Structure 1
Amino acid sequence: MWLLGDDALERSTVVANCAMNRERSLSGSNGYGRELGLDVMAELTDRGARSACVRWLDLCCGSGRALSEAVRLAADGARGARVEIVGLDLVDHFVADSVPPELQLVTGSVTEWVPDGRFDLITCVHGLHYVGDKLGTLARAAGWLAEDGLLIANFDVHSVRRADGTPVGRGLTAELRRQGFAYDASRRRISRHGPGEIRLPYRYLGADDKAGPNYTGQSAVHSFYEHDPSTSPACRAGH
């Protein structure tokens, strides 16, 4: 099987033309609340009651429509706290409306982009389906969380494969849980509270953009890894 590196994958029509998040809103049948099981505005409001500034990062944000909605709602709902929102997407198809100073929309790759600080909330609505190094992205995002920050994303563990094409399966979910993530297999959501230095014992090999539809019915990307115990915390500690 011919696997794609990040540059080739990001030029793939499956990834570049992905319409999953283009017009997604905060609420409704296709909104962030339904897909993540989280009321984003309630989360920001609650955190705003305890902090002077609340920061939200949305990975693979599409047009940024939901983020624009959040900025408008935050003025009334954050209880006086400043809400800063950053949206990152591979394709520059952002909403055409003028962007307020509280919202930053960035064109870039989730595997390369580096933020300028930590975040109280990090979300990724169905975006990981189109990322090559899914595990590396989760590990990086965990390091961007504030001390009591929350990371939540749609994640299909079935899309993470061994070099021979078989799913990594329960061994991966067990390792993710061991390193502080929670995984809801029935809803295909992964979450984490608080930052951490994540060292998963897998080495990324490349991606397959011809994997076909996943559970959403949309074409997605399979990510391939080989087991590499030398990257695990126990091995690095000499155990």
Structure 2
Amino acid sequence: MDHRDLRLLDDDALERSSIVANSDMNRERRLPAYRRELGVDVLALLRGADRVVRWLDLCCGTANALFEAAHALGDRAEIVGVDLVGYFAGPPRPPGLRLVTASVTSWAPDAAFDLITCVHGLHYVGDKLGVIARAASWLTDDGLFAANFDVRSVRSVRGVRGADGAPAGRRLTAALRANGLDYDARNRRVSRRGRKEIDLRWSYLGADDRAGPNYTGQAAVVSYYAVG
């Protein structure tokens, strides 16, 4: 299907969609979910530093896991959670924890992070590649970025096949790896160790919120790009 035959939504329209602005979907997770979904033991990683560490969780949901980490780490950590819906747990909010109601496609931090995570949040984001690139640029020199990401949720302007006839997923995987990102196809994860400016040269066109369930079994968003 040609992208011109689709009703592609811009970010403002997408964020008003019932698929995206949903306070019930994938939101109650606690710290063990980060090890299960991303392979990251948050407390072990942050406790291993000999200084105050910073953790950013994108699409943080109720932020239950962030509350747990803030209580466990105390003044040894600064933790920031960002979520579109803003349906956060608490109060009271522990010192060192800041929760922000904002779109992850437009919000930006004021300092670098040692750990940036996004558990299943990219499924509901329009410009997924833009968020991945921006997150990589927010890392400290030895920081870790890890997120659930399915390359099949990204399409070229010609649908499921790229302009050269290769499947878009394979082409995108190659582009991610060429830019220093690790993509785990089996577990559908993207990651990066250390700050890097990413230039994928895929231009975001808009998103389709009517794509139906993805591999998680929940309705998700498919994003369309023109490939330069």
TM score, norm. by length of structure 2: 0.92
Deviation at 1:169, TM superposition (A): 1.1
What is the DSSP-based 3-state SS (H/G/I as helix, E as strand, rest coil) of the residue aligned with 2:69? helix
Paired position in structure 2 for 1:96 = 90
Deviation at 1:21, TM superposition (A): 3.2
What is the DSSP-based 3-state SS (H/G/I as helix, E as strand, rest coil) of the residue aligned with 1:200? coil
Q: 1:172 to 1:16 in 2, by over 3 A?
A: same
Higher relative contact order (CA 8 A, sep 6+): 2
Q: Deviations over 1:10-63 (max 9, x none)?
A: 000000016343211112xxx22111111111111112xx3x210000000000
Paired position in structure 2 for 1:41 = 43
Pick from 81, 84, 87: which aligns with 2:81? 87
Question: Root-mean-square deviation (CA), in Å?
Answer: 1.1
Give the aligned residue type for 1:116.
D
Alignment of 1:129-148 (within 5 A): 129-148=123-142
Paired position in structure 2 for 1:163 = 157
Q: Matches of 1:97 and 1:43 in 2, distance apart?
A: 26
Give the aligned residue type for 1:5.
D
CA contact (8 A) 2:70 2:95 kept: no
Q: Matches of 1:36 and 1:214 in 2, distance apart?
A: 17
Q: Matches of 2:135 and 2:39 in 1, distance apart?
A: 19
Identity %: 62
CA contact (8 A) 1:21 1:61 kept: no
Q: Matches of 2:100 and 2:197 in 1, distance apart?
A: 25
What is the DSSP-based 3-state SS (H/G/I as helix, E as strand, rest coil) of the residue aligned with 2:7? coil
How many residue pairs match? The answer is: 217
Q: Which runs of 5+ in 1 are unaligned?
A: 76-80, 229-239
Give the aligned residue type for 1:102.
G
Deviation at 1:94, TM superposition (A): 0.3
Q: Matches of 1:18 and 1:185 in 2, distance apart?
A: 28
**Does residue 3 in structure 1 map to residue 8 in structure 2?**
yes
CA contact (8 A) 2:23 2:87 kept: no
What is the DSSP-based 3-state SS (H/G/I as helix, E as strand, rest coil) of the residue aligned with 1:73? helix
What is the DSSP-based 3-state SS (H/G/I as helix, E as strand, rest coil) of the residue aligned with 2:27? coil
TM score, norm. by length of structure 1: 0.88
Deviation at 1:162, TM superposition (A): 1.1
Q: Deviations over 1:167-223 (max 9, x none)?
A: 521111111111110010000001000111111021100000001000000000000
List, as ranges, runs of 4+ consecutive aligned residues in structure 1 with deviation greater than 2 Å.
Answer: 18-21
Q: Matches of 1:11 and 1:70 in 2, distance apart?
A: 31
**Does residue 176 in structure 1 map to residue 176 in structure 2?**
yes
Q: Deviations over 1:78-132 (max 9, x none)?
A: xxx7200000000110002211220000000011001010000000000000000
Q: Which runs of 5+ in 2 are unaligned?
A: 1-5, 162-167
Alignment of 1:52-71 (within 5 A): 52-71=51-70
What is the DSSP-based 3-state SS (H/G/I as helix, E as strand, rest coil) of the residue aligned with 1:13? coil
CA contact (8 A) 1:20 1:126 kept: no
Give the aligned residue type for 1:33.
R
Deviation at 1:71, TM superposition (A): 0.8
Pick from 115, 121, 125: which aligns with 2:119? 125
Paired position in structure 1 for 2:198 = 198
Q: Matches of 1:62 and 1:178 in 2, distance apart?
A: 31
CA contact (8 A) 1:59 1:124 kept: yes
Give the aligned residue type for 1:163.
V
Give the aligned residue type for 2:110.
D
Paired position in structure 1 for 2:223 = 223
